[in-house]
Amino acid sequence: MISVNDFKTGVTIEVDGDIWRVMEFQHVKPGKGAAFVRSKLRNLRSGNVNEKTFRAGEKVAKAQIDNRKMQYLYANGDMHAFMDTETYDQIELPEKNIEYELKFLQENMEVQVIQYQGEVLGVELPNTVTLEVVETDPGIKGDTASGGSKPAKLSTGLTVQVPFFVNEGDNLIVNTTDGSYVSRA
C-alpha cells in the first residue's frame, strides 16, 4: 500500500481493479475542510486518462510493474512482434494496444515492455527518438527570419512541425511524449 501523499509522477497504482500510472498530481489544502490530492491517472490497459481526487492520507495499492527490455522486430498484419534481448523470447502485441507508440517505432528499436502479473500492458518508449524526414517543402532563403515552421512527414508516417531549414533526408530528434520536434540529429 502507498499513501496518496507519496504520489510521484510515474508511480503505478491499482484502483478499482485497474492499473493506473500517475501522470500529474497536486496536493490541495483548502482554507476550510480537509486536504486532498487531485491527480491525473492513465489506465495502462485502455490508455484512457482520468482525473481522480483522493483524501489526504488515503492508502491505495501499489501495482508491481515489470519492465522488460525488448527489441521491436516487425509488423505482421495488425500484430507487432517484440523480442526479449536477454532470453530471445518473442511476444506479439495487437496494434490497438500500441497505437500511439507506432508513430515512433522503427524496426530493431529497443523499448521497455510493461507487464503486470504476466499480462503485457504496453510499450514504454525512450524520451526521444531519431527519425528521418521523408517529405517536406523546401525551405526558401530568407524564410527563417520570422521563426516559422512547416510540416514534415517522417519515416514512420508521423507529421511534425519543423523549422524552415529542415530538408528531406535530414535526421531529426523527436520528443515521444508529445510528438514535437526537438532538434536535428
Can you tell me the distance from the alpha carbon of 167 to that of 77, in angstroms, rounded to the nearest whole number?
32
Q: Are 134 and 57 in contact (CB under 8 A)?
A: no
Q: Are residues 120 and 132 in the same domain?
A: no
Q: Are 48 and 42 in contact (CB under 8 A)?
A: yes
Nine-digit cell string for 182: 526537438
Q: Determine the structural domain holding residue 164 and report its residue range.
A: 128-184
Q: Is beta strand 36-43 parallel, antiparallel or unpaired with respect to 49-55?
A: antiparallel
Nearest 5 degrees, angle CA 122-CA 27-CA 125? 20
3-state secondary structure of 109: coil
Q: Are residues 52 and 84 in the same domain?
A: no
Q: Are residues 132 and 180 in the same domain?
A: yes
Mean pLDDT of the chain: 87
Residue after which a domain boundary falls, among 124, 146, 168: 124
Partner residues linked to 94 by β-bridges: 79
CATH of the domain at 139: 2.40.50.140
Nine-digit cell string for 143: 524564410
Cα-only R_g, the chain = 20
Can you tell me the distance from the alpha carbon of 72 to that of 56, in angstroms, rounded to the nearest whole number?
41
Q: Are residues 77 and 94 in the same domain?
A: yes
- What are the pLDDT digits (tens) for 32-81? 889 999 999 988 887 788 999 999 889 999 988 888 999 999 988 889 99
Q: Structurally, how many domains does the chain consist of?
A: 3
Q: Does the reported pTM lie above 0.95?
A: no
Give, as one character, the DSSP assignment of residue 139. Answer: P
Contacts with 136 (C-beta within 8 Å, 6 or more apart), sequence order: 150, 151, 152, 153, 162, 166, 167, 168
- What are the pLDDT digits (tens) for 94-121? 888 788 888 999 989 999 998 888 888 8
Residue after which a domain boundary falls, among 62, 81, 100: 62
Q: Are 138 and 167 in contact (CB under 8 A)?
A: yes
Closest by CA to 71, choosing from 80, 79, 62, is 80
Q: How far, in Å, are 4, 54, 58, 86 from residue 28 at the CA level?
A: 12, 10, 14, 45
Q: Are 11 and 1 in contact (CB under 8 A)?
A: no
Over residues 180-185, the mean pLDDT reads 88
Q: Are residues 86 and 116 in the same domain?
A: yes
Q: Which residue has the higher pLDDT, 10 or 170?
A: 170
Q: Are residues 77 and 118 in the same domain?
A: yes
CATH of the domain at 17: 2.30.30.30
pLDDT of residue 143: 56
Q: Are residues 107 and 153 in the same domain?
A: no
